[in-house]
C-alpha cells in the first residue's frame, strides 16, 4: 500500500521514535551526569520542531568535552535533526559515529536500518534490523521495520510474520494494523487487510491512512464506490494528499457521479507546480496528456521514482473513465509494467485490467 510514497514519512516517524527511545535511555543511564546546556537547548528546539536550530545546538554540544554516553546522545540527537531537515547523509554519518561508541545498542541499529530504507539499500537495512532484534528481541518497532524491508524485497508473507510479532508486542499501536492491512493487500489477502483497517480505525479514528487503506481494500474487492466516504474522510484528515484527490475524482467518474465542485475545491488546496500537479491540471482540462508525460520524464521528476508509472496509471484511468477505453487500457497495461509492486498504482492497474 503506497509504500514507495509512505516510506519517507514512515522513516521520519520511526527515526523520531528510535531517537526518543535512545535519548531517554541515555538520560536514565546517566542521571548523575550534568547535561551540557547546549543539549538542553537542542532538545527544546527539537520539541519546538525548529530542526535547523537543533542541528546548531547539537553541534555546539558536540564541541564540548563529553562522556561517551553524552557524545552518543548528542550524535543521535543531531542525526534525528539532520533527518528532519533532509540531510540523510549527515544523519547516517552521525549514526555510524554513535554506533562506534555504543555498538551494543539495539535502537541505534534500528535507527540506521530506517536510514538504509530511505536510501533503498534493503540488504543493509535488513542486516541492521536483524542486529536490532538480536540485541532486543522484544522491539516491536524493529520487527515492524524489518517487515517493511521484507515486503520491499518481495517477501510479503515474511513481512506479515514480522508485523504479527510487532502487534503481539504492542497491540495498542494502530499503525501496525494499517501497515499489515496494506501488506495483506499486496499479497492478495483482501479480507484480512480489510479486517486490519477496521481495527486500525477502531483504535485511531483519525488515522487518514487507515481510511485510505479501507477504500483500497474495497477497490480490490471490486466495489470502489462503496468506499467513497472513506476516501473523503481520509482527505478531510489530510487534505494536502494529491493522490487521494485524484483517486476520489476517478472513483466519482467511474461511478458516473458528478463531483466537479468537490474536485476543484480539493485541487485548489494543492500546489500544482510540482508533481503530480500536471495530472491535476490535465484533469481540469488545462494540460494535454503529452505534457503530463513530459513532466513525468523531466530531470527533476526523475529524482522521484515511479512518476512515469503514475502518469501511465492516472492518465489511463481517466481515459477509461471518460469512455476512451482502448487508449486507457494501453496506458494501464504500461502502468502495470512500469510500476513496482510496492506502489498503489501497481495494485490499482492490475485490478482495472481484470475488468
pTM equals 0.86
Cell 492478495 belongs to 188
- How far CA 346 is from CA of 203, 251, 271, 336, 342, in Å, comes to 29, 17, 25, 5, 7
Burial of 27 (0-12, 13-18, 19+ CB in 10 A): middle
- Give pLDDT, residue 31: 47
Q: Give burial (CB, 10 Å; 0-12/13-18/19+) of 9.
A: exposed
Q: For the domain bounded by 1-139, which CATH number is listed?
A: 1.25.40.10
pLDDT tens for 212-224 read: 999 999 999 999 8
d(CA 254, CA 262): 15
Nearest partner of 147 among 179, 172, 105, judged by Cα: 179
Over the chain (355 residues), what is each successive 10-residue block's mean pLDDT?
51 52 50 73 89 93 91 91 92 96 91 91 96 96 94 93 97 96 93 97 96 95 92 96 96 92 96 94 97 85 76 97 95 92 88 90
All three cell numbers of 131, joined, read 542486529
Q: What is the pLDDT at residue 197?
A: 97
pLDDT in tens, 226-251: 999 999 999 999 999 999 999 999 99
Q: Which residues contact 298 (CB under 8 A, 6 or more apart)?
A: none
pLDDT of 30 reads 47
Predicted pLDDT of residue 318: 97
Instruction: Report residue 151 CA to chain centroid gap.
Output: 13
Determine the pLDDT at residue 17: 55
Give the Cα separation of 248 and 200 in Å (integer). 21
Cβ atoms within 10 Å, residue 144: 27
CA atoms within 13 A on the CB side of 319: 19
pLDDT for residue 118 = 87
Q: Domain residue spans in the chain?
A: 1-139, 239-355
Amino acid at each position: 500500500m503506497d509504500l514507495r510514497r509512505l516510506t519517507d514519512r514512515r522513516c521520519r516517524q520511526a527515526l523520531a521514535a528510535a531517537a526518543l527511545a535512545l535519548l531517554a535511555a541515555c538520560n536514565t543511564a546517566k542521571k548523575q551526569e550534568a547535561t551540557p546546556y547546549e543539549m538542553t537547548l537542542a532538545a527544546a528546539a527539537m520539541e519546538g520542531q525548529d530542526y535547523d536550530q537543533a542541528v546548531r545546538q547539537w553541534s555546539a554540544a558536540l564541541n564540548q568535552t563529553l562522556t561517551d554516553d553524552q557524545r552518543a546522545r548528542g550524535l543521535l540527537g543531531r542525526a534525528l535533526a539532520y533527518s528532519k531537515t533532509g540531510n540523510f547523509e549527515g544523519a547516517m554519518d552521525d549514526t555510524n559515529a554513535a554506533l562506534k561508541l555504543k555498538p551494543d545498542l539495539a535502537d541505534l541499529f534500528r535507527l540506521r536500518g530506517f536510514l538504509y530504507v530511505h536510501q533503498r539499500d534493503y540488504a543493509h537495512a535488513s542486516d541492521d534490523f536483524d542486529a536490532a532484534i538480536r540485541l532486543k528481541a522484544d522491539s516491536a518497532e524493529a520487527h515492524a521495520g524489518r517487515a517493511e524491508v521484507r515486503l520491499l524485497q518481495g517477501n510479503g508473507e515474511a513481512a506479515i510474520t514480522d508485523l504479527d510479532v510487532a502487534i503481539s508486542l504492542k497491540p495498542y499501536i494502530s499503525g501496525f494494523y494499517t501497515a499489515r492491512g496494506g501488506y495483506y493487500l499486496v499479497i492478495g489477502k483482501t479480507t484480512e487487510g480489510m479486517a486490519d483497517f477496521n481495527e486500525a480505525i477502531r483504535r485511531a479514528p483519525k488515522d487518514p491512512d487507515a481510511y485510505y487503506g479501507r477504500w483500497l481494500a474495497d477497490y480490490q474487492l471490486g466495489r470502489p464506490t462503496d468506499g467513497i466516504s472513506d476516501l473523503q474522510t481520509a482527505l478531510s484528515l489530510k487534505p494536502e494528499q494529491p493522490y487521494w484527490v485524484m483517486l476520489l475524482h476517478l472513483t466519482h467518474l467511474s461511478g458516473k457521479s458528478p463531483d466537479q465542485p468537490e474536485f476543484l475545491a480539493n485541487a485548489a488546496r494543492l500546489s500544482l507546480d510540482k508533481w503530480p500537479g500536471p495530472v491535476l491540471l490535465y484533469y481540469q482540462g488545462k494540460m494535454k496528456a503529452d505534457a503530463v508525460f513530459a513532466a513525468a520524464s523531466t530531470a527533476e521528476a526523475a529524482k522521484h521514482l515511479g512518476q512515469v508509472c503514475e502518469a501511465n496509471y492516472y492518465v489511463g484511468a481517466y481515459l477509461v473513465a471518460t469512455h476512451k477505453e482502448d487508449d486507457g487500457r494501453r496506458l494501464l497495461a504500461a502502468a502495470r509494467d512500469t510500476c513496482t509492486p510496492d506502489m498503489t498504482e501497481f495494485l490499482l492497474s492490475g485490478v482495472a485490467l481484470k475488468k
